[in-house]
């Protein structure tokens, strides 16, 4: 029904009103409370209605406290107008559906409303709640039960959540774009994310969606729905097999048209959503899980040096300078650009001669989101320090990735680099010139000018041979060499134990990510801040507990922390911060105070876990 029909109805309604010669208010305004019954059993529901008679509206309505009851619905507001013997009467009602919390007698206190400058209030009502439900159900109970069933069916047939994917069969490491959409033919007053999807087996990266949901139209099974995008995420499967994109659950506040109880002719004439009362109903909706078939990467002819890169990439490599001196650093930068799982790329293997000391690389990311694709670059910086002069060469090195378009491995090669190394400034021995031997005097207590002529050599005091210092210096090389062998063996064992290495570096990596989060906090970049906080926590707990990133989930982390005898309160704080980071991406706005509090809690949480895991 179009708005033009509504306007015609309204005009007709007022023509009828003003055509009546005698119009008067049937009664003075009064404010009353009523219930459909005052004796119920545990588990049953009652409807409480507060009605302002003699007026079509008041202001500042204040309901009583329903501490002894659980509010299932309300306030549901409706307006009623009637003509009796040429006089018009009007009323406005506020109703609640309640369920008792315990047995006994309870009093529903007065409600208040302002009308024409006066404050009106209702009389208290006593409700008796028995242990079991009465044997016979009243007519209003049956009617309410039927009405609730009708409302649930009405919403269920016209509201659902769906996740759509761009492909359901991919290679391990290949990007999948998942879009969570809500389909509705009812009015949604508000919604909240109640369950974050668990993406076990995937590395995920949030894609940009408008903060204000933009609706479009789409026909499903012959019905036209209003469709809005709630969440969009890029997924990179970390293992082969069948993986599942788990459901997301949201709680909606749905506006439902209430039915009129009156048989008045004007109620029947205007009985449509435009004129009827509207009530809010809470309704949970979630999507069905979606299965993804993940193919393993080919095992035949895998080039050496392949580290898991999947996508479409190019490589650049350069030195910051080609001339230097001994013991002065040179930086070799390697930039991998393109689209794919950029944040999972490892550094290329670079071999240098023993005359050059090479340090572990530092990486930096420049990730962008073009449409639904993750693109950008990851740059690795290698610090090189030549120790000897001469012409030092850095051989060409390869970088191998799996090309999605070609469905084959592709190897990129860097150019060969040459560094011209000059001798640096060494410390030279100083000596005095132009001094005769007769002028040489005592230097400290050690050196005198050697006498000329007949020299008599004889022992004076103790000799160095056989002294304590002699034996210390004699044994020292053996001790130092033995300690060096023990150190190498221990270091080899540690480096061979990937889990132990990750455990030791967990806090260091977490501090780096928290530093990045602090930078986003200062710049008030909400999405980047919460994403970095989430990465810091997930990465820290995965490294500390030795959990592969592909197996990370809240349930697994909770179980692992409990096995390590971590305080339950600490585990709850971890889960709360992770969920808060996910929820914050959907929140309309987040102030800097809340972001600052999240940052402080995360720093304290990591420190607490670190202490309890010792």
Q: Is residue 250 part of a domain?
A: yes
* 112/253 Cα distance (integer angstroms): 26
Q: 350 with 394: CB under 8 angstroms?
A: yes
**Token reading at 497:** 């134990």
Task: Give 585-602 as a DSSP string.
Answer: TTSS---HHHHHHHHHHH
pLDDT of residue 417: 92
Omega within 30 of 0 (cis) for the link into 354: no
**Average pLDDT of the chain?**
77
Q: Which residue has the higher pLDDT, 156 or 433?
A: 156
Structural domain of residue 505, as residue ranges?
A: 498-612
| Whether residue 315 is found in the same domain as residue 376 | yes
| Whether residue 168 is found in the same domain as residue 284 | yes
- Position 102 confidence tier, pLDDT thresholds 50, 70, 90: confident
Find which of 8-12, 23-27, 78-82, 484-488 is predicted with most confidence, using mean pLDDT: 484-488
* Closest of 325, 353, 329, 338 to residue 416, by C-alpha: 353
* Closest of 97, 111, 121 to residue 40, by C-alpha: 97
Residue 255 reports pLDDT greater than 60:
yes
Q: Is residue 441 part of a domain?
A: no
* 204/219 Cα distance (integer angstroms): 30
Query: Comparing 226-230, 302-306, 481-485, which segment has the lowest mean pLDDT?
Result: 302-306
- Position 316 confidence tier, pLDDT thresholds 50, 70, 90: very high
Quick: pLDDT tens for 406-427.
888 999 999 999 999 998 865 3
Q: Which residue has the higher pLDDT, 565 or 512?
A: 512
CATH number at residue 276: 2.60.40
Q: How far is CA 601 from CA 251, 402, 577, 578, in A?
A: 27, 40, 8, 11
Q: Is residue 565 part of a domain?
A: yes
SS (H, E, C) 436-505: CHHHCCCECCCECCCCCCCCCCCCCCCCCCCCHHHHHHHHHHHHHHHHHHHHHHHHHHHHHCHHHHHHHH
Last residue of a domain, one of 295, 330, 348: 295
361 phi and psi angles, rounded to 5 deg: -75, 155
* 180/235 Cα distance (integer angstroms): 13
- Position 330 confidence tier, pLDDT thresholds 50, 70, 90: very high
Complete edge-to-edge strand list for the sheet that includes strand 69-84: 30-35, 46-53, 87-100, 69-84, 278-286, 249-257, 187-195
pLDDT of residue 562: 84
| Whether residue 161 is found in the same domain as residue 132 | no
* 47/96 Cα distance (integer angstroms): 6
State whether residue 225 is helix, strand or coil.
Answer: strand
pLDDT of residue 441: 41
Q: Is residue 346 part of a domain?
A: yes
Q: Is residue 209 part of a domain?
A: yes
| Whether residue 502 is found in the same domain as residue 398 | no
| Whether residue 274 is found in the same domain as residue 317 | no
511 phi and psi angles, rounded to 5 deg: -65, -40
| Whether residue 183 is found in the same domain as residue 265 | yes
Last residue of a domain, one of 357, 392, 422: 422
State whether residue 345 is helix, strand or coil.
Answer: coil
Residue 575 reports pLDDT greater than 70:
yes
Q: Is residue 11 part of a domain?
A: no
pLDDT of residue 589: 56
Q: Is residue 549 part of a domain?
A: yes
Q: Is residue 8 part of a domain?
A: no
- Position 381 confidence tier, pLDDT thresholds 50, 70, 90: very high
Share of the chain above pLDDT 90, in %: 8
Q: What's the average model confidence in pLDDT over 104-117?
A: 87
Residue 90 reports pLDDT greater than 80:
no
Domains identified in the chain, total number: 4
pLDDT of residue 27: 45
Last residue of a domain, one of 265, 295, 325: 295
- Position 460 confidence tier, pLDDT thresholds 50, 70, 90: low
């Amino acid at each position: 029904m179009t708005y033009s029909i509504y306007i015609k109805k309204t005009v007709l309604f007022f023509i009828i009103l003003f055509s009546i010669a005698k119009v008067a208010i049937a009664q003075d305004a009064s404010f009353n409370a009523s219930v459909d019954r005052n004796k119920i059993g545990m588990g049953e529901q009652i409807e409480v209605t507060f009605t302002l008679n003699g007026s079509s509206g008041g202001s500042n309505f204040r309901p009583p406290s329903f501490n002894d009851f659980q509010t299932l619905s309300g306030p549901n507001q409706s307006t009623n107008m009637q003509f009796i013997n040429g006089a018009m009467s009007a009323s406005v009602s506020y109703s609640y559906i309640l369920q008792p919390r315990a047995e006994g007698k309870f009093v529903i206190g007065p409600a208040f409303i302002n009308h024409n400058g006066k404050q009106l209030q209702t009389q208290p009502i006593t409700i008796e709640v028995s242990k079991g439900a009465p044997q016979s159900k009243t007519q209003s109970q049956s009617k309410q039960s039927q009405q609730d069933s009708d409302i649930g069916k009405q919403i269920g047939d016209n509201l659902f959540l769906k996740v759509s994917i761009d492909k359901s069969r991919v290679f391990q490491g290949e990007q999948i774009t998942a879009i969570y959409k809500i389909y509705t033919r009812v009015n949604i007053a508000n919604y909240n994310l109640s369950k974050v999807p668990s993406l076990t087996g995937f590395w995920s990266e949030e894609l940009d969606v408008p903060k204000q949901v933009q609706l479009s139209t789409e026909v499903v099974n012959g019905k036209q729905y209003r469709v809005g995008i709630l969440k969009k995420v890029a997924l990179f499967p970390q293992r082969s097999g069948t993986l599942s994109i788990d459901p997301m659950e949201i709680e909606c506040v749905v506006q439902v048209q209430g039915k009129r109880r009156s048989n008045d002719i004007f109620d029947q004439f205007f009985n449509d959503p435009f004129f009827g009362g509207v009530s809010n109903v809470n309704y949970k909706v979630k999507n069905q899980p979606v299965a993804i078939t993940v193919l393993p990467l080919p095992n035949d002819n895998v080039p050496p040096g392949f580290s898991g890169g999947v996508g479409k990439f190019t490589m650049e490599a350069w030195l910051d300078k080609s001339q230097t001196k001994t013991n002065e650093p040179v930086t070799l930068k390697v930039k991998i650009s393109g689209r794919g799982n950029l944040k999972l790329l490892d550094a290329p293997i670079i071999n240098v001669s023993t005359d050059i000391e090479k340090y572990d690389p530092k990486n930096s990311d420049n990730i962008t989101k073009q449409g639904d694709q993750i693109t950008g670059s990851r740059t690795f910086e290698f610090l090189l320090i030549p120790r000897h002069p001469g012409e030092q060469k850095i051989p060409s090195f390869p970088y191998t990735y799996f090309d999605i378009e070609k469905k084959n491995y592709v190897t990129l090669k860097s150019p060969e680099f040459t560094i011209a190394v000059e001798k640096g400034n060494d410390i030279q021995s100083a000596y005095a010139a132009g001094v005769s031997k007769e002028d040489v005097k005592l230097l400290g207590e050690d050196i005198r000018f050697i006498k000329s002529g007949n020299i008599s050599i004889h022992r004076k005091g103790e000799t160095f041979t056989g002294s304590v210092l002699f034996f210390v210096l004699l044994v020292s090389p053996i001790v130092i060499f033995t300690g060096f062998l023990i150190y190498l063996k221990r270091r080899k064992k540690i480096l061979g134990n990937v889990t132990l290495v990750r455990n030791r570096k967990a806090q260091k990596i977490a501090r780096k990510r928290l530093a990045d989060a602090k930078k986003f906090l200062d710049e008030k970049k909400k999405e980047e801040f919460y994403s970095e906080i989430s990465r810091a926590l997930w990465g820290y707990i995965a490294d500390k507990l030795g959990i592969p990133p592909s197996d990370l989930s809240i349930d697994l982390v909770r179980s692992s922390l409990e096995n390590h005898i971590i305080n339950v309160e600490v585990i709850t704080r971890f889960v709360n911060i992770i969920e808060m980071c996910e929820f914050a991406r959907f929140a309309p706005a987040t102030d800097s105070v809340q972001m600052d509090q999240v940052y402080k809690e995360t720093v304290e949480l990591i420190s607490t876990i670190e202490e309890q895991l010792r």
